[in-house]
Structure 1
Amino acid sequence: MSNGSLPEDADHLPVRLVTALEVFTRERVAELIDHGEPYIDRARELTVDFKFDFDLTRALVGKSISFGELMSHAVPLNGVADLDKVFKSLTEKPLTSLLNGVHDWVHVEIDGDSPAPIVADVDEMKANLNLLFKARHVLVHEMPETRPFTDDQLKQFARASFEFTHAIDQAITKLLYGNYPLTQIEINQRASERAQQSKQDLGALLDHVNPGGTSERLKKAQAVWVSYVESEATFLSRMDMERHEHGSIAPSIYWSVADELTKERIAWITRSYGEGWGPLD
């Protein structure tokens, strides 16, 4: 819609806008639930309608769908009331309070923009979205001979849809991840901090299962594992290549691989020790 003009197929744009809103909302719902507590527990408050067809059952058996994805595809999204209910259930905030004052944190922190709210008037946005859902319903179910909306309303539908998705995306991201790193340097630093914390956790676990480091077998196995982690993280991050070849993201990949492998090592030792394998020697 450049220069305020409408596309040639504008008659069906409300249908596409609502579809986009539904897909976006289901993705954010899945993200919240799959993030864990407290959102996964709050998911019990959602209204869901499961229809176990062949494809869904196959996805469940094959474990190719997460719990959040399952729940998100079962919630009704037929209007603003449904949008309000689903986000209020998961965040314990109605849409109005969830979106009031939300600004684009990236633009503020990186571009130096003023923290202007994405949605100037949440009630007006909700009213336009309600009209959008109604227009979509008429188009799909009544097949009218004339458009059930004006050109100005269509522009308001598009603006309200953009404001909603943009503001929800910022609100949910901030809710889940806080002041997440924005520059590559910050991302690399955060990845390094996570890996170092996991390394400390592993060290504490090893001290617990092998007090005083008396097990030579475990010490040798751990030394081999440390060498493996170093090789694997270096290989996957291309840290052994020239700087212009591996790029500035390489340290983040290196530390992320090291962090993941360390967490796997912690889980394996915890499980093995807990299963009562007996003395390490």
Structure 2
Amino acid sequence: MKSATGSSGQSLVEHVLAVRARGGVGSVAGSFWGPNERFWQLNNSLHRLGCGADPELYRHFPIAAVAALEGHFKLSVAAIVDSGRGYAERGLRLAKERFRNSPELIPEIHDRSITIGELVAHWLPFSQLSHYESTFDTLLDLGFKMATATAVDPSYARGGSGVSDPIVSDVSRLWRHVAEAFEMRHILAHEAASSYEITFEMARSAVESCAMLCDATEAVIWSTAWSDVPLTQLEMNASEKRQVDDARQRLATVMRSARTDLLGTAQYAWLTRNHFAWRSVTRDFVDWGASKAVGHSMFPLLVYSGQKVALVRRADEIESLMHYMRP
């Protein structure tokens, strides 16, 4: 059974997948680039208009700013819930009634068409600032507004370069401006409001405050839910290196087991020769794949990533081969 989401006739799953495709899912330097790119576009467009444009044009910006904030909200909620470690349970509590009434979605989750986090994010209300705040209160198990008051740029914080100024200098002021943006959005989206005028300053406040709330939200998430997730290039390199070491140890174990099983047979010598040849070819291939990044900070990450994939596949292949060859 399909759950219609509106006049388009799309099922809920189709709707979520369409939102995912339009939204620019992905992150750069710890930020969700889709919504953040949208704020960059809005800010540039507004400043190209300047303060002397047709007032009608300014009416677009509060609606677009809150829409971008909602997109960021949904991506953040989905990512946190899908990260596990207790966050999935909190997310399920937020949307438990909707899950209880939608058993037809279980196969879609099982098939990984959509995630639990995407469903939770889709179902959560988002018509006022309190919905935003209470969601992160519950998901992160903290006072979200208070946490934003001390949130700093996560890349700077991870770099250990000393004390950094908070992203938000005045939380009460930010909350007031974002609440005003929600109110403007509601009026402009649901009323004719022909005598309601939006000025350049009002439009700029909506865009800048919503963008700042996104920045502060990301900083809070990186200091809580993702405190142990690699963020800086150095952290990513070190994490990938640890995974390479683990994959190499597993392959060594698999090879020892295979050689023990093949000891005294012709296949023993063949596997030994083959493995030395594989090591040489793989080393050349991985180095070639990362060659364009030589001299850049990402070079070690690309090398480690290639090594990890090769090591994991090799171990899987040897295990599969030995399963076939053992009596």
How does the TM-score come out when normalised to structure 2? 0.64
**1:254, CA displacement in angstroms?**
2.4
Q: Distance in 2 between matches of 1:37 and 1:230?
A: 40
Which one scores higher on RCO, CA 8 angstroms, separation ≥ 6?
Answer: 2
- Relative to structure 1, the CA distance from residue 242 to residue 79 in structure 2 (aligned partners, 3 Å threshold; closer, same or farther) is closer
Alignment correspondent of 2:72: 24
Over the matched positions of the two proteins, sequence identity in percent amounts to 19
- Relative to structure 1, the CA distance from residue 197 to residue 226 in structure 2 (aligned partners, 3 Å threshold; closer, same or farther) is farther
RMSD of the TM alignment (CA)? 4.3
Pairing 1:33–2:89 present: no
What does the per-residue CA deviation read over 1:82-120, in whole Å, with 9 as the maximum and x for residues that have no partner?
Answer: 111221222112321331211113356779685111111
Pairing 1:142–2:188 present: no
- Relative to structure 1, the CA distance from residue 141 to residue 100 in structure 2 (aligned partners, 3 Å threshold; closer, same or farther) is same
Alignment correspondent of 1:180: 230
Pairing 1:253–2:268 present: no
**1:229, CA displacement in angstroms?**
7.2
**198, 202, 205: which one aligns with 1:156:** 205
Alignment of 1:1-281 (within 5 A): 1-2=46-47, 5-6=50-51, 9-47=57-95, 49=98, 63-107=112-156, 115-147=164-196, 150-175=199-224, 176-178=226-228, 180=230, 182-183=232-233, 187-203=236-252, 210=257, 214-216=260-262, 224=274, 228=278, 231=281, 234-235=284-285, 237=286, 239-240=287-288, 248=296, 249-263=298-312, 280=326
Aligned residues: 270
**1:74, CA displacement in angstroms?**
2.2
**1:200, CA displacement in angstroms?**
2.6
Which stretch has the larger CA shift, 12-21 or 243-252?
243-252
Q: Distance in 2 between matches of 1:144 and 1:119?
A: 32
Contiguous gaps of at least 5 residues in structure 1: none
Contact 1:233 1:255 in 2 (8 A): no
Aligned residue identity for 1:77: F
Q: Distance in 1 between matches of 2:216 and 2:121?
A: 19
Q: Distance in 2 between matches of 1:72 and 1:230?
A: 47
Aligned residue identity for 2:232: L
Contact 1:45 1:89 in 2 (8 A): no
Contact 2:293 2:299 in 1 (8 A): no
Aligned residue identity for 1:105: P
What does the per-residue CA deviation read over 1:182-231, in whole Å, with 9 as the maximum and x for residues that have no partner?
Answer: 34x66434422321133234545777xx49x5212897669857865774
Aligned residue identity for 1:165: C
**1:245, CA displacement in angstroms?**
6.7
